[in-house]
Structure 1
Amino acid sequence: MDKINTVAIVGGTHGNEYSGIYLLRQWDKQPEIISRSTFSTETVFANEKAFEQNKRYVDFDLNRQFSHDDLNNPNLRGYEQCLAKSLNQQLGPKGDARTDFIIDLHNTTSNMGPSLILLQSDEFNRKMGAYVKQHMPSAVVVFEDHASVEEHFFLSSLSPQGVIVEIGPQPQSVIRQDVLDWMAEMTKHILDFIELHNQADVPALPRTYEAFKYTETLSLPLDEAGERAGMVHHSVQDGDFKPLKDGDPIFTLFDGTEIFWEGDYIAYPHFINEAAYYDNNLAMSLAEKLIVHTD
């Protein structure tokens, strides 16, 4: 892959996910922390208005507004829809971006620990995942390469390369030191890897490592009226990236009835009971475990 010349670190894509916002403030005071010799780094506070209102978003989820169709649709005039178009001009435009690489910083209420979400599984991303795990053994790597970068609607899809740093558990509108420290550390390793890549000096990496590949999203059980009829089973709650096998309990209805997972693969739930997803009645994402080869 070609040299990366420009990197944008984005915080506050969601206004109530505080770790990235407060790290941006710190890095703006101490830019040497995120500066490297072979590329320029800028910080972007994506949704200041949502932060001021202590909300995830004002009108629409900003991190779902970056499809080509939406960016080119002048009839979409909600606050985040207009903001996405502005960010597309600032960092993109998508498909021909001036920014080579975006690191988008997020918190989750789920017990996911320090998670690195990769939108591509090319050699560069596979090696970056290996490098981060080598230097941060607690890190989890998740590939969301079920769609191309062009087809993704995340903010990080504006640039040819981009990642989502997803750290939890952290309640909305709260700062936790362990979570903030994980985010700062993972960001450092990503920047270091880009620097080494540009210098053609990436050190020896493990030939293989364990990661996860997104497969599907499950909804909470609903009744005939479309109201929530149950909740995530207690044996699954907080068990992000732990195996879920066919026949294991997954939901409990409010009348006490248990619902069991019916799957033809061993699933690894994550984003379990993410508070922000309740507006869509989403319960969790599922993944399969895979062995990633770095060569």
Structure 2
Amino acid sequence: MGSQTVDAIKQVAIVGGVHGNEFSGIYLIKQYQAQPELMTRSSFNTETVWANPEAHFANKRYLQSDLNRQFKNTDLADMTLTDYEQSRAKVLNAQLGPKGQARTDLIIDLHNTTSNMGACLILTQAGEFYNKMAAYVKMQMPEAIISRDEDHVAAQDHALMCTLGRYGVLVEVGPQSQSVVRQDILDLMHKMTQHILDFVELYNHNNLPQLPKQTEAFRYLHSIKLPMNDQGERLGMVHKNIQDNDYQPINPGDPIFTLFDGTEVKYDGATTVYPTFINEAAYYDNNLAMSLNEKVFITLEDA
């Protein structure tokens, strides 16, 4: 076994229920609380956190504000932001953070999507630790999808809960309808979480296996909205060829929307893109149809 790494991860938090109607994370942390050996490793301590129980009891994503949009440094410091989720964010920052000087080395934030995204590991920052984690998880779990999201944005400017920790990732698993739990989706979330915990153990002991030099990933570009008129009324829907085809290529000229009068709207971009969060139910309040991504590769220098 290798020597302890300089950058050892000593404190891990697994967080469920940031969104009250995404059930897998809530039930997974309950399972880990009942069977702590599932989350126990020799080189670090693991705690579980139920982030937004009141929203869960109300069977809603959130009560007043989306909790997973409250963690920019400026918002955490703003004492005029006092609705339920804004207040919860400050409590979580005190419990797990404080952001920028966090007592928690790694936050694993568990989420569900109604979109057909499978098991997706979302990285919010760049760096060797994340790159090695991505390579390890993909090697152990070939069906996993790696998303680099907006990893060019500084942690202090990220609004996501997982950026409270020194490191933070999201485990996003779907398709699962809001306010239900599915065994196949819960199993995928458990499987990916176990691989992350195993990775940290091996990383701490400087004992990682030979990792692939290149790992396929997707980086967020921008989101596109459903077709609407000037009054903000929806004029169409996601095209049937796109529905459920998360991470499958959209080429210039491919139909992406069907208007209710039958007209097809084609993708007018110049390059091939890869859609995620297709027709996500939680994003209908913003009329978002999907996120578009580019395919990238994570390269390990010393692999």
TM tier relative to shorter chain: over 0.9
Amino acid at match of 1:100: D
Check whether the contact 1:114–1:166 (CA below 8 A) recurs between aligned residues. Answer: yes
Check whether the contact 2:126–2:152 (CA below 8 A) recurs between aligned residues. Answer: no
Match of 1:146 in 2: 152
Match of 2:291 in 1: 285
Q: Which runs of 5+ in 2 are unaligned?
A: 1-5
1:22 aligns with 2:31: no
CA distance in 2, matches of 1:293, 1:131: 12
Deviation at 1:291?
2.0
Deviation at 1:151?
1.3
CA distance in 2, matches of 1:114, 1:159: 22
Match of 1:200 in 2: 206
Check whether the contact 1:149–1:160 (CA below 8 A) recurs between aligned residues. Answer: no
Amino acid at match of 1:124: F
Deviation at 1:226?
1.1
Q: Which runs of 5+ in 1 are unaligned?
A: none
Deviation sequence 1:150-177 (CA, Å, 0-9, x none): 2110000101210000000000011111
Match of 2:142 in 1: 137
Check whether the contact 2:76–2:90 (CA below 8 A) recurs between aligned residues. Answer: yes
Check whether the contact 1:243–1:268 (CA below 8 A) recurs between aligned residues. Answer: yes
Match of 2:244 in 1: 238
Match of 1:98 in 2: 103
Amino acid at match of 1:164: L
Amino acid at match of 1:270: T
Deviation at 1:264?
2.1
Deviation at 1:146?
3.2
Query: Please, what TM-score do these two structures have when normalized by structure 2?
Result: 0.96
Match of 1:174 in 2: 180
Deviation sequence 1:243-269 (CA, Å, 0-9, x none): 001111111111111111111221000
1:69 to 55, 67, 74: 74
| TM-align CA RMSD | 0.9
Check whether the contact 1:146–1:214 (CA below 8 A) recurs between aligned residues. Answer: no
1:270 aligns with 2:252: no
SS in 2 for 1:162: strand
Check whether the contact 2:68–2:160 (CA below 8 A) recurs between aligned residues. Answer: yes
Amino acid at match of 2:141: M
SS in 2 for 1:287: strand
SS in 2 for 1:2: coil
SS in 2 for 1:269: strand
Deviation at 1:21?
0.4
Amino acid at match of 1:218: I
Runs of 4+ in 1 over 6 A off after TM superposition: none
Deviation sequence 1:13-57 (CA, Å, 0-9, x none): 000101010011111011110011111100000000011011100
CA distance in 2, matches of 1:216, 1:73: 28
2:231 to 214, 225, 234: 225
CA distance in 2, matches of 1:170, 1:232: 18
Deviation at 1:278?
0.5
CA distance in 1, matches of 2:51, 2:211: 34
Match of 1:247 in 2: 253
Deviation sequence 1:122-167 (CA, Å, 0-9, x none): 1111111110011111000000213122211000010121000000
Deviation at 1:75?
1.0
SS in 1 for 2:181: coil
Count residues with an aligned counterpart: 295
CA distance in 2, matches of 1:80, 1:189: 30
Q: Where do 1:12-51 residues align within 5 Å? A: 12-51=17-56
CA distance in 2, matches of 1:225, 1:192: 51
Check whether the contact 2:20–2:53 (CA below 8 A) recurs between aligned residues. Answer: yes
1:80 aligns with 2:85: yes
Match of 2:192 in 1: 186
